Amino acid sequence: MQAPKILPRIAHKAGISEDLALKLWRRAAAEAEYLCGKADGAEYWGLAVDRFLAIVEEETSGTRDADLTPATRVAWLWRHQSRVSLLSLVAAQQACRVWQEAWQFPAADQKAA
């Protein structure tokens, strides 16, 4: 199982060691595999990354003292990036539907005449 290349950056932003981040990634990947029933595919990877970010947030919020600067939260950025990338796919899908409907209706009109 390969850890994502963004793992060191997330560890640095969250204020944890890379070794701990790798352990948390393995835990998140195992949970995602259990929930998906497989260790491959877009659903698995998306769930693994979401679970990893949630575990990192839990880890950093539980160990913070009151006098320390709070760790940067990165989960919202990851989720926002996922939503933005899906918007372009949804727009492309809608454009294809309009294009298909435009091609189907003239053919139906010609058969009726």
State whether 31 and 6 are in the same domain. yes
Model pLDDT, residue 105: 64
State whether 22 and 50 are in the same domain. yes
Predicted TM-score (pTM) of the model is 0.55
State whether 3 and 56 are in the same domain. yes
For residue range 37-84, list pLDDT tens digits in order: 888 888 888 888 888 988 988 888 765 444 445 555 666 667 777 777
Model pLDDT, residue 66: 46
- Token pair listed for 104: 């189907």
State whether 32 and 67 are in the same domain. yes
Place of tokens 């160990």: 63
Give the domain range for residue 78.
74-113
State whether 17 and 54 are in the same domain. yes
How far is it, in rounded angstroms, from Cα 11 to Cα 59? 11
Q: Which amino acid is at 91?
A: A
State whether 89 and 68 are in the same domain. no
State whether 26 and 67 are in the same domain. yes
| CA atoms within 13 A of residue 60's CA, in its CB half-sphere | 23
Total number of domains in the chain: 2
State whether 60 and 85 are in the same domain. no
Model pLDDT, residue 107: 54
Model pLDDT, residue 22: 93
State whether 67 and 88 are in the same domain. no
State whether 58 and 88 are in the same domain. no
